[in-house]
Structure 1
């Protein structure tokens, strides 16, 4: 059953455009989406940035989760009392029993990504995280299965505490590379979505030196996007990258009340995934 109610929340709303008003580009994003953007980043995006993180990156983050200086320059202090049991950030809502289905292409392969919010929890650094199963199929064959661990603090920031990742080849697990857990072997949690995102905010999404170093930056809050599941306006747009794979850059679009709706590789590749369905048990 489709979650129709989620599409009518405040913020980025579903919108059925009239003819001649959307001017959609081939990527499903309306013309003007990148207006004022230089090489995928808005002008002044990195102004005031130090060590890859803009000033005020942790604005709105609970006091117990503010960064302190460590050997790597990144050392968030996690207090379990600062976290709540649900994840209802409008740009990244995770309701147990919900499956988000994405489809797209990468080079010569078709991709289907099924993201299922389980009813399971995992205790990480004393925080009761929600377990999300992410299964990727290429040309109909399962190639990756990941169990991700998320939690939301009292200010609405959604934190990423690690993952159990498995790569498959012809039904057999061939690698667990990419797995990490915050608090183990120097790994640290990061923010997947801020509670009060502002253009120019940059933040770490994860951190394990040499293994998991994804970064994100908010570059717009008013994008219009059209995908198979519907049309949305006033969406949040991020630039996401990792220093471990220089030259690769993605743009992601998040609709308030729905979550991620579109992902596009804009440098170093051609992958595109868009939301095609939302299913509840």
Structure 2
């Protein structure tokens, strides 16, 4: 199902234009606290449940290929064995490395995620850097950490994502304000990795990037399998391979 740009714009205005986005999940109370500027309860992360649509198994490596503004890229996303304590929660460190077609480093990011006892996966921040072709850091824009400067965790994937779920993925005002809206689930998709089933589709955008809306597809035990800009950008990436421990 292709979402018309007019519909996308309406949703962005309706959901992104309010102070907080609604969350319809089994842990709506936890999400509601986070979205109103309160830290999540570390007690809800003592016995984390796996989330099929956002796997965090250490040692797993996902490889993607894609284009942005006509340039070709290769991406390697690793679920590391490292953890980082943030706001009383032990988060999992994911390492995301983006390289240009010639092999030069374009971007390197460490992301911090944690699943709660209900299986919702939360996003606690990232340390990111983009690089010029000489290997020098060009920018660290977008880096943030929950508990620092008023930033709070956001939800990256509900335990049971379903259409009409809408939620903040990150909240560091003026720096990181991504949001998502689940619009479809239960269909099949064919990508470079192969044919996958029980796919979830979401629309994602940032209040800091007016007019840019991305479509993302998630699949069980694979996480993100596809993303592309529907409006306001040219980025497009798809999953190529997965190495499991």
TM-score (norm 1): 0.79
Gaps in structure 1 of 5+ consecutive residues: 1-32
Partner of 1:104: 66
Partner of 2:95: 133
Q: Does residue 61 of structure 1 match 2:27? A: yes
Partner of 2:242: 278
Partner of 2:167: 203
Counting only pairs closer than 5 Å after superposition, residues 16-55 of structure 1 correspond to structure 2 as 33-34=1-2, 37-39=3-5, 41=7, 51=18, 55=22
Q: 1:82 aligns with which of 36, 41, 44?
A: 44
Secondary structure of residue in 1 paired with 2:174 = coil
Counting only pairs closer than 5 Å after superposition, residues 139-158 of structure 1 correspond to structure 2 as 139=101, 140-158=103-121
Partner of 1:22: none
Conserved 8 A contact 2:64-2:237: yes
Partner of 2:79: 117
Conserved 8 A contact 2:48-2:118: no
Point out the structure with the larger helix share: 2
Aligned-partner Cα distance in 2 for 1:143–1:38: 32
Counting only pairs closer than 5 Å after superposition, residues 108-257 of structure 1 correspond to structure 2 as 108-139=70-101, 140-169=103-132, 170-257=134-221
Aligned-partner Cα distance in 1 for 2:21–2:77: 30
Aligned-partner Cα distance in 2 for 1:117–1:244: 28
Aligned-partner Cα distance in 1 for 2:211–2:82: 36
Conserved 8 A contact 1:45-1:219: no
**Cα distance, 1:172 vs structure 2:** 2.1
Aligned residues: 242
Secondary structure of residue in 2 paired with 1:91 = coil
Aligned-partner Cα distance in 2 for 1:142–1:198: 36
Gaps in structure 2 of 5+ consecutive residues: none
RMSD: 2.5
Partner of 1:23: none
Which protein is bigger by CA-based radius of gyration? 1
Secondary structure of residue in 1 paired with 2:43 = helix
Aligned-partner Cα distance in 1 for 2:48–2:106: 30
